[in-house]
Copies of this chain bind each other. A is one copy, B any other.
Amino acid sequence: MSNVPRSSPYPLLQVEDAISIVLSEASSFQVIQVESKEAAGFIAAENIHARSPFPPFKASLKDGYAVKYPLTAGKKKLVGSVTTGRAGELPQVNSEQVAYITTGAPLPPGADSVIPVEWTCEADDPGYVMISKGTQVLGQEVRQIGSDIAEGELIISSGSYIGVTECALLINCGVERVKVYSRPKVAVFSTGNELVDIGSVPAFGEIYDANRPLLLAALRRLNIDVIDLGIVKDSEAHITKTFEKALEVADIVVTSGGVSMGCHDYIKIVLERLGKVHFGRVRMKPGKPLTFATTKTGSSSKRFVVGLPGNPVSCYVCFYLFVVPLIRKLSGYVNPHLPVVEAELLDSIRLDPERPEYHRSILKWNFERHIYEAKSTGDQSSSRLLSATKANALLILPSENKVLEKGSLVSAIVLEDK
């Protein structure tokens, strides 16, 4: 082992350039139709218009009495009652008459306004009711047809995120099914002769594979269908076979390990043969050996491979920086990036002179100072998962040969809330 690799043939890309390459490759979306009630979390692939107006009939905003405007105070004849639900025969309401009505019920014919129950009291005769305050304006406490949403109104535009409220809005307006962008399927495997699954007893020289569980858990939290392809030994044949299998079933293949320069690092070698390696090194800390490739065989659609470094923290940082935007782009997000805010450092941090660092940190809003404060999670070794625990943000630290003083303002990528 004297003639071993000593330098990488891959140019060292800037993070922004590397992310741009990933996103520019990811342009094809697949459109599917889902039921509106299952649409939360998807991106709309069409402009969606209200099929029915809301409300679909003149409805009372209050429990009270439906009347014809104008109506003065006094004892009024009760001609019936209208409650919510399938409206059978409704009472006719003429001047000086009232009909009891509940919130949301349709206005009976003749009525155009509602007197809230608080403005009324019981009369001595049960066929009557005492109105203590008459109508103030025509149409009071009445929701006009389509006043919330008109029939045909654009309610969700193509490219918008469908959250739980948008999902309810669709149903509200009678939209039963919608076209959305499908989410990519993701296959995951780890490479490394040293890896064993938790539950096994590691021999000397072996460690537990923590990356695959991390990636699978993170993908599931993004509601992504995952295919777990296990641990693959450091052999060109095994890795090739697993890639071939993965590329058949998944849109994106995410691997961990095997991207460095060691003589057992086969990911890049295999990918060069199976497809196009767009980059194999990125100027970032952690995550330098990050690798990105695409493949295209026969009539199948383009596939994406992200080869994450084997150190768990590098794996985690690169996942959020590259894999999440790739997934979001393929899922139809107009802005595939995670949210970024700014925060004031609670610690002084020595910058890395060569690579921008994605520093794990705990972000918290300070209500006295009206700003986010960022607390470092300490020692940032790329093997040290403790530095990623409790972290809810990645600070973007520039590469410079200096200490960034406590109190400096830095950009922070917001990860999940804890």
A interface, CB within 8 angstroms of B: 1-7, 36-37, 40-41, 52, 54-57, 63, 78, 81, 83-87, 100, 102-106, 117-118, 120-123, 126-129, 143, 148-149, 155-156, 160-161, 163-169, 171-172, 174, 176, 192-194, 198-199, 202-211, 213-214, 216-218, 220-221, 233-234, 260-264, 310, 312, 316, 339-342, 365, 367, 370-372, 381, 383-386, 388-391, 409, 411, 414, 416-418
A384 to B172, CA, bound (A): 10
**B103 and A386 contacting across the interface, CB-CB below 8 Å:** no
**A205 and B87 contacting across the interface, CB-CB below 8 Å:** yes
Neighbouring B residues of A4 by C-beta, 8 Å = 63, 100, 117
**B194 and A148 contacting across the interface, CB-CB below 8 Å:** no
Q: Which residue of B lies closest to A199 (CB)?
A: B176
**B104 and A55 contacting across the interface, CB-CB below 8 Å:** no
A172 to B213, CA, bound (A): 10
Neighbouring B residues of A207 by C-beta, 8 Å = 54-56, 104, 172
Majority-rule SS of A interface residues: loop
**A213 and B37 contacting across the interface, CB-CB below 8 Å:** yes
Neighbouring B residues of A87 by C-beta, 8 Å = 203-205
Taking A102-B263, A172-B207 as known contacts, 14 extra A-B pairs with beta carbons closer than 8 A to each other, sorted by chain A number, are: A2-B122, A3-B126, A6-B121, A54-B383, A63-B261, A84-B193, A85-B194, A86-B203, A149-B386, A164-B214, A166-B389, A168-B312, A176-B199, A341-B372
A103 to B256, CA, bound (A): 14
Neighbouring B residues of A155 by C-beta, 8 Å = 386, 389
A79 to B372, CA, bound (A): 55
Neighbouring B residues of A104 by C-beta, 8 Å = 192, 194, 207, 310
A–B Cβ pairs within 8 angstroms, 21 of them: A1-B81, A4-B117, A40-B217, A40-B220, A54-B385, A63-B261, A63-B262, A83-B264, A86-B204, A102-B263, A105-B194, A106-B205, A149-B386, A161-B418, A164-B218, A165-B214, A165-B388, A168-B217, A171-B198, A172-B210, A176-B198
Given contacts A54-B207, A198-B37, A198-B174, contact A84 B264 (CB under 8 A): yes
**A86 and B211 contacting across the interface, CB-CB below 8 Å:** no
A194 to B84, CA, bound (A): 5
Q: Which residue of B lies closest to A125 (CB)?
A: B2
Neighbouring B residues of A416 by C-beta, 8 Å = 163-164
A401 → B minimal CB distance (Å)? 19
**B383 and A365 contacting across the interface, CB-CB below 8 Å:** no
A388 to B148, CA, bound (A): 12
Instruction: Indicate which residue in B41, B106, B171 contacts A213 across the interface (CB closer than 8 Å).
Output: B171
Most buried by B among A78, A234, A261: A261
**A37 and B386 contacting across the interface, CB-CB below 8 Å:** no
**A169 and B389 contacting across the interface, CB-CB below 8 Å:** yes
A394 to B213, CA, bound (A): 35
**A156 and B36 contacting across the interface, CB-CB below 8 Å:** no
Q: Which residue of B lies closest to A90 (CB)?
A: B205
**A383 and B193 contacting across the interface, CB-CB below 8 Å:** no
**B262 and A83 contacting across the interface, CB-CB below 8 Å:** yes
Closest 8 CB pairs of A and B: A85-B193, A87-B205, A1-B100, A168-B214, A84-B194, A102-B262, A165-B388, A40-B217
A143 to B85, CA, bound (A): 71
A6 to B161, CA, bound (A): 43
**B129 and A2 contacting across the interface, CB-CB below 8 Å:** yes
